[in-house]
Amino acid sequence: MAGWTTHTGQAIALPLENVDTDQLIPARFMSIPRSEGYGGHLLHDMRRNADGELDTAFPLNRWPEASILIARRNFGSGSSREAAVYALVDAGYRAVIAPSFGDIFAGNAVNNGLLPAQVSESEVERLISSVPTDLSVDLEACTVRIGGADVPFSLADTARTKLMNGWDDIDLTRAEAEHIKGYRDALMQARPWVWA
Amino acid sequence: MTTPQTLLDKLWTRHEIRRRADGASLLWVDRHLVHEGSHHGFAKIAARGLPVAEPDLTFAVVDHYAPVRDRSHIADPDIARMIRTLEENAKTHDVRAFGLHDARQGIVHVIGPEQGLTLPGLLVTCGDSHTSTHGALGALAFGIGATEVAHVLATQTVWQTKPRAMRITVDGSLMPGVTAKDIALNWIAKLGTDGARGHAVEYAGSTVRDLSVEARLTLCNLSIEGGARFGMVAPDTKVLEYVQGRPFAPKGQAWDRAIADWADLQTDDGASFDREAQFDASEIAPTVTWGTSPEQALPIDTTLPDPARLPEARADAARAALDYMGLTAGRPLEGTPVDQVFLGSCTNARIEDLRLAAAVLAGRKAKVPGQVSPGSALVRKQAEEEGLAEIFEQAGLDWSEAGCSLCVGMNGETVAPGKRCASSTNRNFRGRQGPGARTHLMSPAMVAAAAVTGTLTDARPLLEGRL
């Protein structure tokens, strides 16, 4: 995964709260291998009308080039399915801006280079009223730049460093092999029942 | 004097291998449970040519895609492939598997505790958000994404930032027919689906102590619906009695050492929480969701909300939810006709859940069709031995095999568009039980009551003299 520091792109809004992972990617698409791509299934049911046709007025259909999504509170709540993040990433999204995110979703997002930028509710409402518009996101400064003004966002330090460095956790952890072995040896002595 | 610690502090310290300067902890994983949906994780380690680090601490369970009717032939090639892939991955990596035809097969969050895989003090991960269930035994248990699944497979560890600590205290006596499900839906309705976001929830208070272990599993299971990745209850003698003698539980001297080791797994007096919430159990009524988020829940004897009277921020969501659900603002919740019922899922498909539903259904007929899917093959067997299966079948409900089934709609079972289902599951999200499906979450007793009357109904009168 490549690290990144700034991104400029078109921002659009999905002005809904509690956009859950079942809506981001309905369960019936989850048996697909990642190599086939998940972008076409992003918000599959929400972006279609009753006849199953794409609703041309729906923001994601109207502005297919968008790469920044603005939503209301508790975006990505629900299941741990990382496919919800794959769908956003494969559809070209680099950042989601919302007042809050589901904890598991936010972790999954960062593990795939997608920024979950937490912005105050009032600023989110202001951004929603400004879309579609081009925005710049700066991980170094933790700001969203809109029309020459900066809006701050919150992001855990751990998430920020990971996004900027494009760290691969497995490689990082394998460098901890000695610590892990030490822990494991002590555990085997102290709590042998762990190995049932 | 040492600083008083919370149960979360103690569980975290036990598993922390080291903490990075940015605050992330590298945690040891004692139990990694995988299911068909873990295929991304296995694909990731295969792509790097890595083995499973600790096959003996990894357990594979067929549940999400498990057919619950005819298992002799799986017609859908995608479903067959998902199950086959898991079984092949388990074999390749020498991981113990509870396959589709195993006598112990079932939903991962049911069979973990049932088999004694889940123990107090262990750290349990699984690529499923309802992993919080296992915290009911005093484990540190949480759902992880596919990248983390791959990481645990490859290293038996996971990076995690310690959540803030929250305590939900419930005191007092529950009314007969009111359950752990109602406690959960009640607190989520009050605090919101993000009410416990960023926190690990410890459930405490006299009501929680009085709950059976199975009821605590239900309570912890629903933590994630209130935003908490972790739910937990301090283990007590009930938990020890529950765990002792289970197939994977420690035995003999190991058991004695283990219970001594678990003795300090409780929050110290005077330990502080980042957040506290209190509830009075006697005020909790049977609770039903009316909308498309678990926070949109109300006591059965109330009326549907009127968006015009809600704060603006909630009004749009309420209007959209009522529209999707085909409901009218201001009308009573009770008496709403349902098309079908579902009793099952990791939330409410243990033997006590089935007993409670059977208490409502005994000698009665269901007015609408429905499926009962026990949480595991062993629960199924026990329910048959106790005569519960017969009660369900005589009532006219389908008695099926164990799996996630209609909770998540991956095994081919779905609720048809526009149909209304009274469901003992955990999510009423749009399309959760199938595109256009209308889901009402409630306790097993309430599902059974809905079956009997064909409408959303207060189960309490139907349980009179039967508990």
Model confidence pLDDT, tens digit, residues A53-86: 999 999 999 999 999 999 999 999 999 999 999 9
- As a whole number of angstroms, the distance between CA B84 and CA B107 comes to 17
Lowest model confidence (mean pLDDT) among A49-58, B117-126, B340-349, B450-459: A49-58
How far are the Cα atoms of A4, A189, B101, B241, B324 from residue B110, in angstroms, in the given order?
A: 42, 30, 16, 17, 32
Minimal Cβ distance to A103: which of B28, B227, B257: B227
Q: What is the pLDDT of residue B1?
A: 62
Assign B169 a pLDDT band (cuts: 50, 70, 90).
very high
Query: B9 forms bridges with which residues in the sheet?
Result: none
Q: Is the peptide bond prior to A132 cis by the omega test (within 30 degrees of 0)?
A: yes
Helices (H), B48-102: 77-92
Contact A111 B147 (CB under 8 A): yes
Those residues whose C-beta lies under 8 Å from the C-beta of residue B363, and which sit 6 or more positions away, are none
| CB burial string B348-367: b at 16+ within 10 A, e below | bbbbbbbbbbbbbbbebebb
Q: What is the pLDDT of residue A174?
A: 87
Q: Is B145 on the interface with A (CB under 8 A)?
A: yes
pLDDT for residue A2 is more than 90: no
With beta carbons under 8 A apart, name residues in chain A contacting B430: 22-23, 45-46
Please tell me whether residue A19 adopts helix, strand or coil conformation: coil
Q: What is the pLDDT of residue B204?
A: 98
- As a whole number of angstroms, the distance between CA B440 and CA B451 comes to 13
Q: What is the pLDDT of residue B148?
A: 98
Q: What is the pLDDT of residue B53?
A: 98
When pLDDT is averaged across residues B437-449 and rounded to a whole number, the result is 98
Nearest CA in chain B to A105: B145
- As a whole number of angstroms, the distance between CA B174 and CA B188 comes to 17
Assign A148 a pLDDT band (cuts: 50, 70, 90).
confident
Instruction: Give the residue from B38, B20, B231 showing the smallest Cα distance to B124.
Output: B231
With beta carbons under 8 A apart, name residues in chain B contacting A184: 28, 156
Q: How far is A73 from chain B (nearest CA, A)?
A: 8
Interfacial A residues in 16-35 facing B (CB < 8 Å): 16-18, 20, 22-23, 26-28, 30-31, 33-34
Nearest CA in chain A to B252: A193
The answer to whether the CB of A104 falls within 8 A of the CB of A80 is yes
Which contiguous run of DSSP H or E holds residue B114?
helix B108-115
Amino acid at B187: W
Q: What is the pLDDT of residue A171?
A: 86
Residue whose entry in the numeric block shows the structure tokens 């009753």: A50
Interfacial A residues in 90-149 facing B (CB < 8 Å): 100, 102-104, 107-108, 111-112
When pLDDT is averaged across residues B95-102 and rounded to a whole number, the result is 97
How far are the Cα atoms of A71, B134, B263 from residue B269, in angstroms, in the given order?
A: 42, 24, 15
Q: Is B448 on the interface with A (CB under 8 A)?
A: no
Interfacial B residues in 70-109 facing A (CB < 8 Å): 78-79, 81-82
Model confidence pLDDT, tens digit, residues B361-411: 999 999 999 999 999 999 999 999 999 999 999 999 999 999 999 999 999
pLDDT for residue B295 is more than 70: yes
With beta carbons under 8 A apart, name residues in chain A contacting B313: 17
ipTM value greater than 0.90: yes
Query: A145 forms bridges with which residues in the sheet?
Result: A136, A150
Terminal alpha carbon distance of chain B: 49
pTM of the model: 0.97
When pLDDT is averaged across residues A161-185 and rounded to a whole number, the result is 93
Q: Are strands B340-343 and B370-372 parallel, antiparallel or unpaired?
A: parallel
Amino acid at B143: G
The answer to whether the CB of B278 falls within 8 A of the CB of B171 is yes
When pLDDT is averaged across residues B19-38 and rounded to a whole number, the result is 96
pLDDT for residue A30 is more than 70: yes
Amino acid at B459: A
Q: What is the pLDDT of residue B198?
A: 97
- As a whole number of angstroms, the distance between CA A160 and CA A156 comes to 6
Q: Is A170 on the interface with B (CB under 8 A)?
A: yes
pLDDT for residue A147 is more than 90: no
Interfacial B residues in 148-207 facing A (CB < 8 Å): 148, 150-151, 154-157, 159, 161, 163, 192-194, 197-198
pLDDT for residue B151 is more than 90: yes
How far are the Cα atoms of A137, B340, B446 from residue B453, in angstroms, in the given order?
A: 55, 11, 11
Average pLDDT, chain B: 97
Average pLDDT, chain A: 95
Taking CB atoms within 8 Å and a gap of at least 24, the contacts of A186-190 are A187/B28, A190/B261
